[in-house]
Amino acid sequence: MVGRHRRDVSSTPSHDVPAWIEPVLAKPDSGRLRSGPEWTDEYKLDGYRACMQVAPDGTTALTSRNGIVVTDGFPSLAGVLAPGLDGRAAVLDGEIVVYNEAGQIDFGALQERRGQYRRHSRITRGGTPFEGADARFLAFDRLRLGAESLLDAP
């Protein structure tokens, strides 16, 4: 991933960014998987698993599944979900991906973008924002909305 600081979002402009929540990782279901038209499976996405923490003012922090803040590597994702949250804080679990020209998620392109970010960071020492291949955040779980934890919700 593209960060160094574990769960430290103090450098983020708003200190109202919700705390990081460790993502629930996939594991074998031992035959207990529910079925029916009201249920769906999570698809395997070839990207970086991430937690997006959004403050009421839209300030955003992105944290890897290992708790490393990676926000600087994906500046185009900052604030992208704020308009849909109507001023509420949120924590979302999802995947950062890059699409190729055929419209398919491309892990190789994401890795290439990571290398470009690292080179950019060494050269500019963080002095200028990084603009690489267009990254997207695909949210698949809402872990917190406003003050309400949704961790125990179905």
- Which residues belong to the active site? 44
Q: Which amino acid is at 86?
A: D
Buried b / exposed e over 5-38, threshold 16 CB at 10 Å, is: eebebeebeeeebbebbebeeeeeeeeeeeeeee
Asked if 66 and 109 touch (Cβ cutoff 8 Å), the reply is: no
Query: Using CA of residue 89, residue 95, residue 96, residue 98, what is the dihedral sign?
Result: negative
